[in-house]
Chain A
Amino acid sequence: MVNPLTYVFRPKVTEKFEFSDSELEALGSELKTKVNRVFGHSLAIRELDSGSDNSTEIEISNLAGPYYDIERFGISFVASPRHADVLLVTGAVTLNMAEAVLKTYEAMPSPKFVVAVGDDACDGGIYKGSYAVLGGVDKILPVDIKIPGNPPSPKEILRGIFSLVKKSRYSLSDS
């Protein structure tokens, strides 16, 4: 019979991951403190693409990857809007997606927050004046924070989430 403690004390099998980004770490630990306090240790995000060019999705999913790994800061991406505190919307809202965007928002429990990610989500970007889009996300949902960029980098998105958490502390205590 193997003593299970040997699994704990034997050398780790994973390789050392040589990567450090002090700026990210500092931002992350500050964020973690805020998430702990404001959102009870866990901030659940639902991502929604309302008509982006797909690069923003790639950057958001990079946040969950091994480099940024934002789950260690208490932030997780959830599959259902019913589990989400924050809706992260990318892309100008197309006519074909408008109904789905509204339904997703309505499915979220209150209090809920909306973040527009990328230039097109902020104000319609290059699609301004196109018959096929309504414009930025604020045309259809109440937007709390806008993160500009084409696309914004993972760190910029994280900074945006941080400013939302700071801001929402006040709005949560109001209600």
Chain B
Amino acid sequence: MNSNKNTVSFLVSAGSKSRGNYQIPSNSAALATPSVLATRYSTDLMINIAGKEPKIIKGKNNEFYIPLTEKEFLTTVPALSEKSFVLISLFCVQNFEEDPDFTLFYIFRLDGFTDVFAFMRYVRRETTSIATVFPSACWYEREIRDGFGIEFTDAFDKRRLFLHEAYPEGFHPLLKSFKNGKIKAIKNPKEAYPFKKVEGEGVYQIPVGPVHAGIIEPGHFRFNVIGEPIFNLEIRLFYKHRGIEKLAEGKNPSACIPIAEAISGDETIANTVAFCTAVEKISGIEIPERANYLRAILLELERIYSHMGDLSGMITDIGFPRMTTPFLILRENIFRQNEFLTDSRFMKGVIDLGGVKKEISGEALSKLSLYLKTFVSQFESATEDAHTSSSLIDRFSTTGVLKKKLITPLNITGPIARAAGTKYDVRFDHPYGIYKDIPPERTIKIAGDVLSRFEVKAAEVLNSASLINKLIASIPGGAIIAETTEFAISNIPDGYALSMVEAARGQNLHWVYVRNGLINRYKVRTASFCNWQAIEHAVLRNIVPDFPLINKSFNLSYAGTDL
């Protein structure tokens, strides 16, 4: 139980050390505990720049909200970028806390600190872009423009994002004035999406998608190629935009769980845990210890089967079926374990507000533990086989390198970032649930190529298996759902909370705002949303035939991005 304290203090000291002789001044009372250094560091920056102390509102889940005037915002943001703060999300809320207009939330974190903070910026119909300072803001701003009709007047990219040509101009679904329902789509739209134009001798385009050759999700890839190497790649997504955020509005929090499950089928547990945690924080529900353990076991099982799919997919994409088969067999076995434990191969309908819905007996857990022993030895021999194949290593090594310097500006997270030399992992950096007490092992590679991603994912499968065994060995008995849940949810106070979970693909961020007992705004940002931009960079100078392999080594969710 001490490990959490050690982890936190270790991270904090490492963080402050790297910032030279930075002293902790006595600032606001809200920032009294040592785990909120990122917020304090930023407010001190602000005091230096603007000369006055900002107001700080403490959130419910170790997050802080800082309302700013336009001038304070504009002067502080470039300083944050210089100090390597990471913009992890940006979203808009209409009529936040009786405000007549829009509030933009810019969420930041800093490496080495467990707290995150939001700059709140009040805007009307127009505002300015920060995409030149924080490149990751580009997609968010386009998303806000589509959803709310707010123009970022000086943005360098003003194209629509999730509303494609079928949607009429001037339609903004997330405005409160729009009541969800059928709209009149534009038939045979004349306008084509303006892709980035690349011209010159020997440059040609390869358009791919949205319907691809394999059994995968839809998306459009526009390659500009000179000879064989890729000169530029532009990815256009959001073909699967289903209106998830709007769908959640006005619903009871419990009715939103199936919506959270549908964000991305293979991140069912991660997204429902994140959503439920946010609602539990708002309503003040403490979930029982056993439920915390069970959630972590399911989260890790999800990571295992997701990574197994990636590993087999990478080998399939170099045309090596014999090597793929063991991974596919093992993955099917994990799906069957999922079904055995939860009655659902994708573990749907298991997580609930206040804990978990289905009890998993001690006997079932020990069977899982027993199976994992066989699994681990078979998995190890399969990966060992893969490593002894020179043709596999030849295709994987130095292919699709993701440069480390892109990771902070684009907020790239998850195993693909850990394969490129960063150590960020929500389970360590913003620990939640049982990870506070029982942290997983961490595997980091530095090369950033397909091989590193293969190795990191393979190592994470084993780390997860050993963590599950550890959890099963120490799981306490007792209730699986907090007794007060029903009462707390039916009397849920107005409020908002942010929660983050390390899904198989990286950092998933959920922000829930409840008013009058109903969801007023539900913002989801999965790791894939940010990580897609990493692919556009990683494929450059690689040959087109390596694209499927590189894409698979990232294996991002289209559904989780398109929402």
Contacts and interface: CB of A to CB of B under 8 A. Distances in A.
Q: Do A and B bind each other?
A: yes
- Name the interface size band of chain B: 35 or more
Interface in A41-66: 47-62, 64-66
A52 B265 CA distance: 8
B345 A153 contact: yes
Interface stretch (B104-112, B277-285, B325-333): B325-333
A48 B173 contact: no
Nearest to B237: A96
A131 interface: yes
Q: A-B pairs with the 8 shortest C-beta distances?
A: A55-B265, A132-B243, A79-B213, A53-B265, A130-B243, A96-B164, A61-B215, A54-B265
A120 B261 CA distance: 13
A77 interface: yes
A11 interface: no
B309 interface: yes
Given A49-B217, A94-B241, A131 B182 contact: yes
Interface string B224-265: 000000000000001111110011000000000011011111
A132 B241 contact: yes
Contacts of A150: 348
A19 to B, nearest CB: 8
A95 interface: yes
Interface residues on A, range: 35 or more
Contacts of A127: 242-243, 247
Contact of A57 (B166, B182, B217, B241): B217
Interface of A: 17, 47-62, 64-67, 77, 79-81, 91-92, 94-100, 104, 120, 126-127, 129-133, 150-151, 153
B452 interface: no
A132 B329 CA distance: 37
B247 A49 contact: no
B173 A132 contact: yes
Contacts of B29: none
A80 B214 CA distance: 9
A104 B211 CA distance: 8
SS of B interface (majority): loop
24 contacts: A49-B217, A49-B240, A52-B559, A53-B262, A53-B559, A54-B266, A56-B265, A57-B215, A57-B217, A58-B346, A62-B335, A65-B328, A66-B328, A95-B167, A96-B166, A96-B241, A97-B240, A99-B166, A100-B218, A126-B247, A126-B258, A126-B259, A126-B262, A132-B246
Contacts of B167: 95
A59 B345 contact: yes
Contact of B185 (A17, A57, A95, A153): A95
B181 A131 contact: yes
B49 to A, nearest CB: 42
B174 to A, nearest CB: 10
B216 interface: yes
B557 interface: yes
B210 interface: yes
